[in-house]
Structure 1
Amino acid sequence: MNPTLLERPGLAQPDASKHNLLEQSLGQLACDIPGASRVFHEFNLDFCCGGQKTLRDAALGKGLDPVQIAEALHLLQDSAARQHDWRDEPSEQLIAHILTRYHARHREQLPELIRLACRVEQVHGARNTCPNGLADHLRDMQQELEGHMLKEEQVLFPMLQQGLGRRAAPPIHVLRLEHEQHGEALEKLLVLTDHITPPADACNTWRALYRGLSEFRDDLMQHIHLENNVLFVNALNA
């Protein structure tokens, strides 16, 4: 039998503590370990829409060494300060946080990002490094995200605030599917922007655009993570 990836030469073998991390889901690790989401961003692992995958499966699916990632998380367990654990809070408080920290913020971010993308494409569209099509893609994301957030604000969140968690299963199913679509849109954004990496000679507008895109991506992934892996789970298990 051929050796598994973990058994191949050059890949470290896990000790017991790291092995335990390998078998936990990305969503669980993002909840448990302060700074885990930063590690997942570094390795381009989807802890929000793909949060149900184990660390081992997610890493192997990307051709990465899962033990290397587990080691980085293991160090965070020992050194990072405690983060706010929303799993311990009432759904009303988490919903309030999502509305102010993410819904309101996305509504501020996207119009400015679209403006900057239009400017970059207008001025630098002839360059092969220009993210042509980015402005239109961001407009599509804005439209889809606005419709999604309105469903949450007008349908799901009122149900959860009334204690109707289990009866909210149908809208939660729809919103999870839409989260997957948001994840696919983020993947396309990375393709258009060379993983949000500006060329060495990029102008200030181009760099400001990519800084904003990086912040938006991080915010949207954390937003989806809190809903998929905390809010929805708590509601269905109530």
Structure 2
Amino acid sequence: MSMLDRTLAQLAQELPGATAIFHQYRLSFCCGGEHTLREAATKRGVDVKEIADALSALPGVAKGAKGVDTLSDADLIEFILNRFHKVHREQLTELKRLAHRVESVHGDNPACPHGLTEFLHHLALELEQHMQKEEAILFPMLIQGEGGMAGGPMRVMMAEHEGHVQELARLDELTGGCVPPEGACNTWRALYLGLKAFVADLAAHIHLENDILFARNLKGAFHG
């Protein structure tokens, strides 16, 4: 079935990031998501192909790069910046919006993830500070071939990675393992789908940096 002929509810529940695009084009997907993408876009008077292209470009649809371990440091860093740093910023912005909506509307539901919006806000700040340090200090050193002198900064980043992973345990506690309750609305389901995608992306991000980019540079780094 073509993406255009799938309902907004289906796309919101199956495609992480779709809700941000629907929000951008003011397409209602929560309790009015029974319309197909084609129908909803036509009714709203927006370009159907433009929305479909935006959905097709989402990380969950687009194919990731193959053989990233063979890329040069500069090319691997460019891949990390575009596929993970940029995407995390977009993901967390949308996840905070969805979490706030769920907490506001379903606060009386025993399964409501109370405190999730605040947690995501805190996590986004920490991750933003971390990524900015990589972008401003560490990555330029590696691109310039100065990995041998970057042992200290790389180990600091790896320690922060471990902290991020440990914090995600709190996410499981707040959301019950990101399993939506029976009868959950489309926004709630989209939120948990997006959280699962974010966690998977963060794990892949950390793996690329720790086990490929940093590992090969640490081999030649000065110890001190």
**Residue of structure 1 equivalent to 2:97:** 115
**Residue of structure 1 equivalent to 2:175:** 193
The letter of the residue matching 2:106 is: H
TM-score where L is the length of structure 1:
0.64
1:139 matches 2:151: no
Q: For each residue in 1:100-147, what CA deviation from the matched residue of structure 2 results, as whole angstroms up to 9, or x when unmatched?
A: 000000111111100110110111112221110000000001000000
**Residue of structure 1 equivalent to 2:44:** none
Runs of at least 4 residues off by over 6 Å: none
1:178 matches 2:123: no
1:87-236 equivalent positions in 2, closer than 5 A: 87-236=69-218
Q: 1:177 Cα deviation (Å)?
A: 1.0
**Quick one: distance in 2 between partners of 1:153 and 1:98?**
11
- Indicate the SS of the match to 2:66: coil
**Quick one: distance in 1 between partners of 2:88 and 2:143?**
22
**Quick one: distance in 1 between partners of 2:103 and 2:80?**
32
List gaps (5 residues or longer) in structure 2: 1-64
Q: For each residue in 1:63-119, what CA deviation from the matched residue of structure 2 results, as whole angstroms up to 9, or x when unmatched?
A: xxxxxxxxxxxxxxxxxxxx8232222111110000000000011111110011011
Contact 1:87-1:234 within 8 A present in 2 as well: no
**Quick one: distance in 2 between partners of 1:117 and 1:228?**
30
**Residue of structure 1 equivalent to 2:40:** none
**Quick one: distance in 2 between partners of 1:138 and 1:185?**
10
CA RMSD of aligned residues (A): 1.1
- Indicate the SS of the match to 2:146: coil
- Indicate the SS of the match to 1:128: coil
**Quick one: distance in 1 between partners of 2:111 and 2:167?**
20
**Residue of structure 2 equivalent to 1:46:** none
Count of matched residue pairs: 156
Q: For each residue in 1:149-170, what CA deviation from the matched residue of structure 2 results, as whole angstroms up to 9, or x when unmatched?
A: 0000000000001111121111
The letter of the residue matching 2:86 is: A
List gaps (5 residues or longer) in structure 1: 1-82
Change (3 A) 1:89 1:236: same
1:6-25 equivalent positions in 2, closer than 5 A: none
**Residue of structure 2 equivalent to 1:27:** none
Deviates more, 1:85-94 or 1:166-175: 85-94
**Quick one: distance in 1 between partners of 2:216 and 2:70?**
10
**Quick one: distance in 2 between partners of 1:123 and 1:157?**
42
**Quick one: distance in 1 between partners of 2:87 and 2:104?**
26
**Quick one: distance in 2 between partners of 1:196 and 1:206?**
10
**Quick one: distance in 2 between partners of 1:166 and 1:221?**
26
The letter of the residue matching 2:203 is: M
